[in-house]
A = this chain, B = another copy of it.
Amino acid sequence: MTSTSRDVARAAGVSVATVSRAFSEAGAVSETTRRKVMTEARRLGYSPNPAARRLITGRSGNIGIIVPDLANPFFADIIKGVQRRARESRQAILVADTDEQSRLEADTLRTLSRQVDGIILASPRSAMDDLPSDLSVPIVLVHRQAPGWWSVTADFAEGVRQALVNLRALGHDHVAYAGGPQLSWSGGLRTNALRACAADLGVHLYELGSVAPTVNGGLAAADLALATPATALIAYNDVVALGAMRRFGARGVDVPGDMSVVGCDNTMLSLLAAPSLTTVDVPRFEAGEAAVALLDRQLADPDAEPIEQLLATALVIRGTTAPPRQT
Q: Is the CB of B96 within 8 A of A94?
A: no
Q: How far is the CA of A60 from the CA of B54 in the complex (A)?
A: 12
Is A209 in the interface zone, CB < 8 Å from B?
no
Task: Tell me which residues across on chain B come within 8 A of A49, comparing CB atoms.
Answer: 55, 114
Q: How far is the CA of A72 from the CA of B250 in the complex (A)?
A: 27
Task: Tell me which residues across on chain B come within 8 A of A45, comparing CB atoms.
Answer: 134
Is A245 in the interface zone, CB < 8 Å from B?
yes
Q: Is the CB of A268 within 8 A of B92?
A: no
Q: How far is the CA of A111 from the CA of B269 in the complex (A)?
A: 33
A135 to chain B, nearest CB (A): 10
Task: Tell me which residues across on chain B come within 8 A of A229, comparing CB atoms.
Answer: none
Is A291 in the interface zone, CB < 8 Å from B?
no
Residue of B nearest to A110 (CB): B47
Given A51-B51, A268-B215, the answer on whether A92 and B73 have CB atoms closer than 8 Å is no
Is A95 in the interface zone, CB < 8 Å from B?
yes
| Interface size classification for chain A | 35 or more
- Which of A77-85, A167-175, A182-190, A198-206 is near enough to bind chain B? A77-85
A269 to chain B, nearest CB (A): 7
Q: Is the CB of B83 within 8 A of A70?
A: yes
Q: How far is the CA of A73 from the CA of B215 in the complex (A)?
A: 14
Is A44 in the interface zone, CB < 8 Å from B?
no
Q: Is the CB of A62 within 8 A of B246?
A: no
Is A52 in the interface zone, CB < 8 Å from B?
yes
Task: Tell me which residues across on chain B come within 8 A of A51, comparing CB atoms.
Answer: 51-52, 54-55, 60
Task: Tell me which residues across on chain B come within 8 A of A112, comparing CB atoms.
Answer: 92
Residue of B nearest to A56 (CB): B51
Is A243 in the interface zone, CB < 8 Å from B?
yes
- Give the interface centre of A77, A94, A136, A215 by most chain B CB atoms within 10 Å: A94
Task: Tell me which residues across on chain B come within 8 A of A136, comparing CB atoms.
Answer: 2
Q: How far is the CA of A96 from the CA of B73 in the complex (A)?
A: 16
Q: How far is the CA of A93 from the CA of B92 in the complex (A)?
A: 10
Residue of B nearest to A47 (CB): B114
Q: Is the CB of B215 within 8 A of A272?
A: yes
Residue of B83, B93, B273 touching A272 (CB-CB under 8 A): B273
Beyond A47-B114, A51-B51, 20 additional pairs, beta carbon < 8 A: A2-B136, A49-B55, A49-B114, A50-B115, A51-B55, A62-B115, A70-B80, A70-B83, A71-B73, A71-B80, A80-B97, A83-B96, A90-B111, A92-B115, A93-B96, A95-B95, A243-B272, A245-B274, A246-B272, A269-B272
Task: Sort A-B residue pairs by CB-CB distance and give the 10 closest, nearest first.
Answer: A51-B54, A51-B55, A242-B272, A71-B76, A70-B76, A95-B95, A92-B94, A274-B274, A51-B51, A83-B97
